[in-house]
Structure 1
């Protein structure tokens, strides 16, 4: 990824008023620890009502980015805007409490000595009746109105998470920052609570930046995914585009298991035991990796030592021997030891398919689901 050229430091005046001005914009944020860039030239725009997921492995700079936006940590360079107005650069800084930004973390951090109502009302301004009305409105939306006078220790983990969400939304923040908010919940509860949370966030029309290391969570919740690695955003776009048009091998592998074939390009074609793969624009002699996901491998039966006939969509079949097969609940994973080089390739099949170890089968690869990248290393 190439870094954008640094922009001149803007004045503290508002940007030109436009209907499409992003609710949150960060420009070229950088943060160094011990001389190492943990956030390196990160830029993002999020509109009101939009959910963007900052997705990446632990330690890639996601939470540090969130803390800088919230104002609890200072950037070394870069600017942050809300509705077109500068709220922070390296000189000018709006205090965190005046940024109208809501925060929600994996640790719900509810006050144990306060009731559910008082937790949600904490930090609200206005009369007692106004506060109570806002509390009742939000607790009704998260289906916890009946617990309004209970204390947090009487609630389940999922219920506490919804109280924390209501508290974060109570002041009607323009921006909601969420750092791994669902990681403390068990899988049985997680999907339902994520869906409820997403519905409520959309209703409140806040711009949402959600940090997660779980691709499934990002795909489920995001309008846009920003894939982060080593302090930089390496790819950004709608979930479908990020998944189906990855920028490199690591981007493919972050969302799923992968299979990799090594080949050399000659005449814009890469020759492999599965036939030729197109490599347009790649110079002759370039070593490439052909990357494809297990769900895009087709399995066929052995026909007296022969496999299926070649086709333009699936190429040439290659022979393999079943090494292991496992049922995963919604699909089966089958591993093959390939004849051509002894490597192991993985294939997934919907429902139950458990061929015996040692069985000879033939594999083909969908050409429209393969990615060709320069070889790493």
Structure 2
């Protein structure tokens, strides 16, 4: 492991220790839900501490939004228990109504009231005299940078400004937990990062526990203290973003976070033969078919020298000759697609900056052994 990776893993461990010292805010145990006999949420257990952001990440239809709806109280679970600060909200016997749960909701649709001013939108639902609720609304609007728009109406605001009004309205009642269902997906990419960061700053200052649902890995890694990866109604892996990215549970988990190259093989004597030499497969019985997974950014490219490539190394293994199929510049980096000489299989590499070899160009590829994952083929 290189020094930067050591520091990153230590940082992830320190952050995990810090989170464990915070009081547990939301605790979900063995939550399950079926519709018309089809299980959509299957034995989900989650916990979120005060001031922590947990991201529920997964493809569309995996049960993320249904989980949020059960926590909010708008859907009733078939099994399981939901607790807030140790108090049972729902367990199949007890069921606190949504308005009594002290849980805030933010969705992709901001659902602002078009006939109310920005101030009245934020103050909507607050108890107390009008002057008091408006003072609370004005303080929140100042915190989200919209003090100058407090008398405006929603249609007079940009999408990013409407999003911040929705945030101020959601935190106005001081919820203990904030549930966010892809609230930033409708925003322009140029605005999204800044508004996400501002939103989290406000929620952390309030000490609110946040459960965020998204299908975008980049958003999850940018926002979350921890990620729970969901597939087919179940949590398949949970941990810090660094750990999920660098220690995926299986090939599908690795592929969810980035493009991957997959090299098939079969184990014989704890070794797998590939175009890039032998790979260790400890603990796998002879005859086990495996997939060796490596991300395109960890594929090293070298030039062809009259049919010869670079010498093998312990770190990069044996080189394999390949022919360029196509190359494209995709912003800060280039994507080069290859066909391996040995077996005709496809391989792609990502190279920083501009590197656009012509189709048909022979090059040599090497793959970092410490960046590969070996999984039994499902």
Richer in helix (by share): 2
Are 2:23 and 2:50, in contact at CA under 8 Å, matched by a contact in 1? Answer: no
Shift of residue 127 of structure 1?
2.6
TM normalised by structure 1 equals 0.94
Aligned to 1:269: 271
Which whole-Å CA distance do the structure 2 matches of 1:20 and 1:158 have between them? 32
Deviation at 1:285, TM superposition (A): 1.6
Counterpart-to-counterpart distance in 2, 1:48 and 1:251: 28
Q: Distance in 1 between matches of 2:268 and 2:282?
A: 10
C-alpha contact 1:271 1:277 (8 A) present in aligned 2: yes
User: Is 1:172 aligned to 2:177, yes or no?
Assistant: no
Structure 2 residue matching 1:23: 3-state secondary structure:
strand
Q: Is the 8 A contact 1:52 1:222 kept in 2?
A: yes
1:49 touches 1:201 (CA, 8 Å); kept in 2?
yes
2:15 aligns with none
Query: How many residue pairs were aligned?
Result: 359
**Aligned positions of 1:117-196 closer than 5 A:** 117-196=119-198
Give the superposition deviation at 1:129. 2.9
Secondary structure of residue in 2 paired with 1:196: helix
Q: TM-score, normalised by structure 2?
A: 0.93
- Residue of structure 1 aligned with 2:233, choices 231, 234, 242: 231
1:126 CA displacement: 2.2
Inter-partner Cα distance in structure 2 for 1:303 and 1:136: 69
Match of 2:313 among 305, 311, 314: 311
C-alpha contact (below 8 Å) 1:31/1:39 kept by paired residues: yes
Q: Which residue of structure 1 lines up, in the alignment, with residue 112 of structure 2?
A: 110
- CA distance in structure 1 between the aligned counterparts of 2:23 and 2:141, rounded to whole angstroms: 32
5+ long unaligned stretches in structure 2: 1-19
Report the Cα distance in structure 1 between the residues aligned to 2:308 and 2:143, rounded to whole angstroms.
61
Residue 21 of structure 1 and its aligned partner are, at CA, apart by 4.5
Structure 1 unaligned blocks of 5 or more: 1-17
* Mapped partners of 1:121, 1:269: distance in 2: 65
Partner of 1:15: none
Secondary structure of the residue aligned to 1:111 is coil
**Does the Cα contact within 8 Å between 2:120 and 2:134 map onto a contact in 1?**
no
Tell me the CA shift for residue 313 of structure 1: 0.6
Deviation of residue 128 (structure 1)?
2.5
Measure, in 1, the Cα distance between the counterparts of 2:285 and 2:128.
67
The CA RMSD over aligned residues, in Å, is: 1.1
> Which string of whole-angstrom CA distances, capped at 9 and with x for unpartnered residues, describes residues 63-112 of structure 1?
00000000000000000000111110111111110100000000000000
CA distance in 1, matches of 2:368, 2:196: 33
1:90 to 66, 89, 92: 92
| In 2: Cα distance, 1:90 partner to 1:266 partner | 51
Match of 1:330 in 2: 332
Alignment match of 1:34 (pick from 33, 36, 40):
36
8 Å CA contact 1:21, 1:84 repeated in 2: no
1:347 maps to which residue? 349
